[in-house]
Structure 1
């Protein structure tokens, strides 16, 4: 998205110059088109900046075996309104509502085809298959293995698994990740933070 901003910014400046300084050369019939183009470019640049720095540094999902619940740090945004209020809405659901969906996409790039895949967690309405929420579990990673690990943990407990790696600090970013450094830190609501880390 940052590349899109880099391309759109000079066009925004040029278009603004055209409207202000070349009114006589272009004539009034081009003004509505220039204003529409200016608005479109402002939308693209604003959306690009916000999608880079508005989402939190990470979107963690917590699994609490004792409570049989999952907790997701859910970020909601409106692609069509970059000027609106984008917010984090932490949510919790019963483990019995969780389903896993594997997805894949194929796209064309200048060097050929690109393949992307991953696993999404879908939350269904109790007693139905109606999806009410979704969270990304993994992309281009050991997705099936990750889901199997989670299922084993939630059903059999940590003793049935190899020991996990060191815990990750969701706010720790590399020095070169400038957009993430501007992004809000992960901060769970205190009540949910305590509930997600403790037994009933």
Structure 2
């Protein structure tokens, strides 16, 4: 499927290339020694792969502390200035202080919630017999960091045949700046290339291609087509995370009962 121009309408931000469609031969062969995580589960019915939008939980919580400290410092500065001079700061200083205060509180709350409210894992289940994919997704809205309804986990089901994988590379603020490479999955309207939904699949194009190849092999041939993994699956809910405050506070993965049963069983 790889081509010089995007196959979908509209392509993902930072599109680099399309990967082969669900029922086509995988672009690559998965190598267990390279993949970061062993699949959470695999049997004759379903395959579960770990996924998360966050590269690592625990960084945002420290950013939030720093930003909220900036907000507190700004308030102390204004209060001290008024107490010493008996006058309000100049208009320009007032505006600058207000911008710093709002930005710090806004950014601090957002970083805190992203770190402690995102679940420990956002697994994706590929049910071979139902030919459906169940996605445990964490939704958030940076424009509404105080909202309850805009933040939370929802489980969504899609038809396997309607998925398309895209390799992407976007510029992001990592260290001194750099490119963030991901593989995303798009959901198309049946029989068309029109995208109706899209979600994160894996960090790193090489990792994403191999996980997508795992899903293709499983859905096309069954668990016997998967390579043997040298490590046991990671227990995301019960692992020891005492050293990481964000991981300790993050909610465990808990599927809704009806979708949990559906995603693990045959029709």
Question: In 1, are the aligned partners of 2:164 and 2:186 still within 8 Å (CA)?
Answer: yes
Quick check: 1:44 aligned with 2:107? yes
In the aligned structure 1, how far is the partner of 2:212 from the partner of 2:128? 15
Equivalent in 108, 111, 119 of residue 183 of structure 2: 119
Equivalent in 79, 88, 110 of residue 20 of structure 1: 79
User: Which structure 2 residues correspond to residues 6-85 of structure 1 after superposition, within 5 A?
Assistant: 6-23=65-82, 24-27=86-89, 29=91, 30-85=93-148
1:176-197 per-position Cα deviation (integer Å, ceiling 9, x unaligned): 2220110111100000000111
| Segment of structure 1 superposing worse, 33-42 or 152-161 | 33-42
Equivalent in 189, 202, 205 of residue 138 of structure 1: 202
5+ residue gaps, structure 1, are none
Distance 1:33 1:90, change over 3 A: same
How far the C-alpha of 1:146 sits from its partner, in A, is 1.7
Q: Counting helix residues as a fraction of each chain, which structure ranks higher?
A: 1
In the aligned structure 2, how far is the partner of 1:63 from the partner of 1:3? 35
Quick check: 1:152 aligned with 2:217? yes
How far the C-alpha of 1:42 sits from its partner, in A, is 1.2
| Segment of structure 1 superposing worse, 94-103 or 125-134 | 125-134
Q: Give me the CA root mean square deviation.
A: 2.4
Question: In 2, are the aligned partners of 1:118 and 1:137 still within 8 Å (CA)?
Answer: yes
5+ residue gaps, structure 2, are 1-59
Q: How many pairs are equivalent? A: 199
Residue 168 of structure 1 is matched in structure 2 by 234
1:47-67 per-position Cα deviation (integer Å, ceiling 9, x unaligned): 111111111111000000000
1:69-115 per-position Cα deviation (integer Å, ceiling 9, x unaligned): 0000011110111101211110001101111111124568777x745
Distance 1:46 1:107, change over 3 A: closer
In the aligned structure 1, how far is the partner of 2:178 from the partner of 2:96? 36
Higher relative contact order (CA 8 A, sep 6+): 2
